[in-house]
Amino acid sequence: MIGFAESFLTWLVSTILPTFAGLSAITWASKKVPLRYIVAFAFGILFWFFVDTISGSAVLDVNSGFGGGLAQVGVVLLFVIGVVSFFWVDRKRDILSPQSAVGKYGLTIPLLVAIALGIHGLGEGAAFGATAYSTSSTSLLNAFGGLTAGVAYILHKVLEPMMIGACYSVYTKPEGGTVGSWLRSVFLMSIVFVIPSLLGAATGYLLAYDATYFFALGTGAAIYVVFRLAGPLFVPSEAATSREPIKVAVSWILGIMALYASALFHS
């Protein structure tokens, strides 16, 4: 067993710092790169993220057929709740009309995206906490598979928040346009994204429970992010040329390959 304080602080630092770095990088890049390519890159990340998350939910227990019992019903219901709840909360913010939502709702949309994406962190954190509590190793790094596993996690936490940053770049008009206001926004989005992971780590260390349900809820919540990222890709652009679809496709490929490459470190 590794002490609670040591494991929790390590989880905090290894989650919040990469998250802040990823958000800072993508929102800065959005000032230099056309937004459509930023969104396509983030959309590619989302595809692999969805695969990761639904795998964590045991693919909604589909391999049980019709014999999964209440556990199977529970994961499916949580998936549905994850989808419906975010669409309901955001129903008055032009979710199906992305052009109309630009600049109207402040940080609300990217913060909702941060919450939706952060939910899967409850499951990740719970798995981390349970392992830290039960391991016979005296080293956190060794307990979780060594240096390459640590690199994989940090890269994931750099890339995943870029989906939040892409939504921020599309839907939010920075107040005052100062570096200070931008950094405050990035910090707030980082905190909102990270909080579920911290809750999961703390409760997973202290309690024994099945984290599959959190992944099911997070998988459903990710569907909301699909709509928020997909919409801006289809907004007409005066500068569009016949090469635009190829550029968008390449941006998407780069996004999914980035998260794929980070996952290779954990294989």
pLDDT for residue 175: 60
Which is more confident, 162 or 61? Answer: 162
pLDDT for residue 64: 86
- Taking alpha carbons only, the member of 17, 9, 32, 10 closest to residue 144 is 10
Nearest-5° angle of CA 255, CA 120, CA 68?
115
Taking only the tens place, the pLDDT of each residue in 45-70 is 999 999 989 998 888 888 888 888 99
pLDDT for residue 27: 95
Which is more confident, 101 or 144? Answer: 101
Taking only the tens place, the pLDDT of each residue in 121-134 is 999 999 989 888 88
Q: How far is CA 76 from each of CA 50, 52, 57, 65, 113, rounded to the nearest angstrom?
A: 15, 17, 9, 13, 21
Which is more confident, 242 or 176? Answer: 242
How does the average pLDDT of the chain come out, rounded? 91
Q: At what angle do helices 162-171 and 35-56 cross, to 10 degrees?
A: 140
pLDDT for residue 43: 97
N- to C-terminal Cα separation, the chain = 25
Report whether pLDDT(200) > 80. yes
Taking only the tens place, the pLDDT of each residue in 84-124 is 999 999 999 999 888 888 888 989 999 999 999 999 999 99
Can you spell out the DSSP letters for 166-209? HHHHHH---STT-HHHHHHHHHHHHHHHHHHHHHHHHHHHH---
